[in-house]
Structure 1
Amino acid sequence: MFDSGLGGLSVWRAVTRELPEWPVTYLADQAYVPYGSKSREQLIERSLRIGHFLHEQGASLLVVACNTATSAAVDTMRKELPIPIVAIEPAVKPAARASRTGRIAVLATEFMLQSARFHSLLQRHAGTVEVLPRPGRGWVELVEAGRIDGDEAREKVAAVVEPLLAENVDHIVLGCTHYPFLAPLIRDIVGPDVVLDDPAEGSARRAADLLAGKAPQKPNGYRFYTTADTAPMSDVLPVLIGHPYPVQHAGI
């Protein structure tokens, strides 16, 4: 699995619950975070490098735990990498189908919201539902630093979410894997009647389907890599997933 940083750990949680017997390697490309500010060409180059690295580490399946990388690079990755790839995309389809008010919000990076893949997703699945796209500016940086509570996080989340209260949305799609770590703050603002749609469980089920009937070649175990300094990731892992793990540097 890989992400621009630590947001993909929200998908890691779902995958490890779905596949508890499988060893999972997670790589955070923190030397290049955030991906939302990068060009499509940069994202393709980074995603291919990381994909080849993880394949060389023995990966039999690759989960792209990043909406932005999926949008920019997954088609190229599927052509060039010799292993199955599970992508992730905003859960527009289930949100649109379940909406009662006919208005949903999609929170994602600016790159994702402007991408052709996202607009294709809307054309295919939004139907007659009105979609309000909103970038979570500064949210990725909050999660990377483990600042998922406190005044700063609440202010940045409120700046994006509070205006939606007047828009009659009944579903908020979390279109960046970093954003589920801020879901408790979002929930405090919107209350219990607005559904938060997170696609992580769907990606985990897809990974399990692709591995059905296969047995892991190595004992259960989790490995973590970062392309940046290892200390910050080591410090934040317990905050985000509730357990410390050793972190290795990947010079990619």
Structure 2
Amino acid sequence: MQTNAIGIFDSGVGGTSIWKEINTLLPYENTIYLADSRNAPYGPKGKEAITELSIKNTEYLLTQNCKLIVVACNTATTNAIDFLRANYNIPFIGIEPAIKPAALQTQTNTIGILATRGTLSSALFSKTSTLFASNIKVIEQHGDGIVELIESGKLFSDEMTKLLKQYLQPMIDANIDYLVLGCTHYPYLMPLLIKLLPQHVKIIDSGAAVARQTKSVLEQHNLLNTSLVKGENTFFTNSNTEVMQSLIGTDYTVEYLNF
């Protein structure tokens, strides 16, 4: 089991931002990444549909003998991970917006959260927000349209810049000092966000924390790959392979998989 792959799935290419953090921390682990881009974004679909898609992704990764599955999608985590953990005998790592560090460190007592509708409307997000951010002002913003632009290869388009300006202005006006990214697609926006936000605003995403949690859970279950041979990384998508290729670089091959 120790040499079996870590499975990672997302509604599209965004979760590759999580894969990069895992691969950096755990270079000897084999990974299989599954992008369900055909059904992206998951956010507007509703809990039942999101759970069904998450089951489909999980079932495929289990056919590949994955030893642990990272749900590299905030919307799938907040809507489906409880079901997955209850119904499959394998460790699952989930992702949710990093509200806690932002809430603890804010000096202006105002933070911004950019996330999908599916994440912001979920019970898990509400619980986390209540637990850590009840005493501060939280500016929530649905990132409608962002995932679609990234999935269609328009990451640095004028359309994206216009959309982000529209979403960020209310946060800037409210004097946020932290912006929490609540979707795994959004770290790819970092160059644009840095350009559009005031210099004092710090941007937080969950990637590094997820990688550390993945390592911790592998150790707890005695699943850490002790080999000193660099791991093999396999990427599948059921949509355009070129978009993912542009994000992960030419060292890896993206395969089309009709799933």
Q: Indicate whether the TM-score tops 0.5.
A: yes
Aligned length: 248
Aligned pair partner of 2:192 in 182, 185, 191: 185
Query: How far apart, CA to CA, are the structure 2 residues paired with 1:249 and 1:97?
Result: 43
Alpha-carbon distance between aligned partners in 2 of 1:179 and 1:133, rounded to the nearest angstrom: 15
State the Cα deviation string for residues 163-208 of structure 1 (Å, max 9, x = none).
3211111001000111111111111111321011101110000111
> 83-92 or 121-130: which moved more?
121-130
**Structure 2 CA distance for partners of 1:91 and 1:251, relative to 1, 3 Å:** same
Contact 2:16 2:248 in 1 (8 A): yes
Stretches of 4+ aligned residues off by more than 4 angstroms: 216-219
Superposed counterparts of 1:57-96, under 5 Å: 57-96=64-103
Residue 246 to residue 191, structure 1, CA distance change in 2 (3 Å): same
Give the aligned partner of residue 161 of structure 1.
168
Identity of aligned residues (%): 37
Is the CA contact (8 Å cut-off) linking 1:238 and 1:244 kept in structure 2? no
> Match for residue 220 of structure 1?
231
1:225, 1:250 within 8 Å by CA — same for their partners in 2? yes
State the distance in 2 between where 1:13 and 1:146 align: 19
Structure 2 residue identity aligned to 1:240: L
Counterpart secondary structure, 1:132: strand
Q: Give the alignment's TM-score, normalised by structure 1.
A: 0.93
Q: How large is the RMSD of aligned CA atoms in angstroms?
A: 1.6
Indicate the residue corresponding to 2:208 in structure 1. Answer: 201
User: What displacement does 1:216 show?
Assistant: 6.1
TM-score normalized by structure 2? 0.91
1:50 aligns to what? 57
**8 Å contact kept, 1:96–1:127:** no
Question: Match for 1:173 among 171, 180, 189?
Answer: 180
Secondary structure of the 1:159 match is: helix
Letter of the 2:237 partner, please give it.
T
